[in-house]
A = this chain, B = another copy of it.
């Protein structure tokens, strides 16, 4: 057991042809998204990746390790896609629209990745390291909201974490509804949804109303 582990760990050279690790992660993501984490056996993943089961275990110590790798990879890609070249310290309506557009294009281009990331049950699997990956997205967004509130752009009636959860939940909700065939989302629908979300979090002149 210890021997196998060290072999897999020291494998800095993934065969002669790179990309196999990637293939496996990509395949894992798709199958996991479709059948759930506990729900998918390892062999189908290897199958989809076009490698043998034994090979898969050369690259990952266990199914759990594979899950964590897939999670980190997916989260990283989402972060890069969302935050690349974005000046979060200068919130504006345009910045909000950009974020929405990027979120949308991600959910459209990689629906399985998006679904995978929203699955409930990975949290029992994730290592501390995987969990911290979560923060890398949340913290910048949180700062953006704080600044937006200071600037008077965003409503300061709800705390930043809550605003993010609300917004994120709404976004996830409409794509989940589409996936389950409760509705279809046209580009126009997405724009209207975006504007509705903006109304929820933006500073609003009718605010002082008090509870």
Q: Which A residues lie at the B interface, using CB under 8 A? A: 35-39, 115, 118-121, 123-124, 138, 155, 157-159, 161-174, 176-177, 180, 182-183, 185, 188-189, 191-193, 195-197, 199-201, 204, 209-211
- Residues of B near A115 (CB, < 8 A) are 120
Chain B nearest Cβ from A164, distance in angstroms: 8
Most buried by B among A138, A155, A182, A185: A182
> Are the C-beta atoms of A169 and B173 separated by less than 8 Å?
yes
> Are the C-beta atoms of B189 and A200 separated by less than 8 Å?
no
Identical copies in the complex: 2
Task: Report the nearest B residue to A155, measured CB to CB.
Answer: B196
Chain B nearest Cβ from A45, distance in angstroms: 15
> Are the C-beta atoms of B211 and A39 separated by less than 8 Å?
no
Q: A162-B193, A166-B196 are in contact. List 9 more A-B contacts (CB 8 A).
A: A36-B120, A37-B39, A38-B39, A123-B180, A162-B177, A163-B196, A165-B176, A167-B170, A172-B173
